[in-house]
Amino acid sequence: MEFSKYFDHTILKADASSEDVNRIVREAIQYNFASVCVNSARTKQVSTLLLDTDIDVCTVIGFPLGAMSTMAKKMETLTAIEDGATEIDMVINVGAVKDGDWDLVTEDIAEVKEVCRHNTTGQEAILKVIIETCLLTEEEKVLACEAAVEAGADFVKTSTGFSTGGATVEDVALMRKTVDAKTAELEKETGKKYPRVNVKASGGIRDYKTAKAMIEAGADRLGTSATVAILMESEK
């Protein structure tokens, strides 16, 4: 895969202006990134600018805390898809993880996945589930990834980048191992073939060395606002 296609070119800061977003889109087109990742209020702006390109529109949902109701996440997801989002990055219900309420965690993801599958556009959106690894124990990371697989997520993602820490190579490797093992378990139980669940590393990826390490650990996608600098460094 072309190196640039590992990247979701990201702008999520609260004070991002319309021109800031336009600049990110121009860069994404110039360098052929996988997607542009924005808050939901910017979805329509980005999708309009990315018409007639193969660059996806990625919208964060329940961001950055994940503490919204499932209904609120579903409505935000539906609006984002209607505005042109082709990828949805939702934040898991971290409080429910801490409660050990895995039924709620799984249902929260599954309900958003249902909107990604069936919505007014007739197009299915990819669902990435942000588990916010910096707030979880190792056991919770494993169980959160397993819940995401059971709920039909297309990706598990390390971090929002807005909490106490970002992606680590160790977490990416653990997530890769966990989703592969859970998928194999479900296939054995059901006798059905399941699609591969991907891993996205996000938060604190600011140089080529770190990006390369995340990919080698099992990341299929990288979320960063330092995308252009990383790409330039990779070409030296």
Instruction: Quote the pLDDT of residue 143.
Output: 98
Q: CB–CB of 57/50 below 8 Å? A: yes
Determine the pLDDT at residue 53. 97
Average pLDDT, integer, range 142-169: 98
pLDDT of residue 77: 98
| Overall average pLDDT of the 38-58 stretch | 98
Domain boundaries, the chain: 3-234
pLDDT band for position 52 (50/70/90)? very high
pLDDT reading at 74 higher than 90: yes
pLDDT at position 223 is 98
pLDDT per residue as tens digits for the range 88-122: 999 999 999 999 999 999 999 999 999 999 999 99
**Do 61 and 73 touch, CB atoms closer than 8 A?**
yes
pLDDT attached to residue 236: 83
CATH topology of domain 3-234: TIM Barrel (3.20.20)
What does the alpha-carbon distance between residue 185 and residue 57 come to, in Å, rounded to a whole number? 32
The residues that are catalytic are: 89, 157, 200
Q: How confident is the model at residue 32 (pLDDT cuts 50, 70, 90)?
A: very high
- Provide the pLDDT for residue 233: 96
Reported as a single tens digit per residue, the pLDDT across 193-228 is 999 999 999 999 999 999 999 999 999 999 999 999
**Res 1: pLDDT:** 87
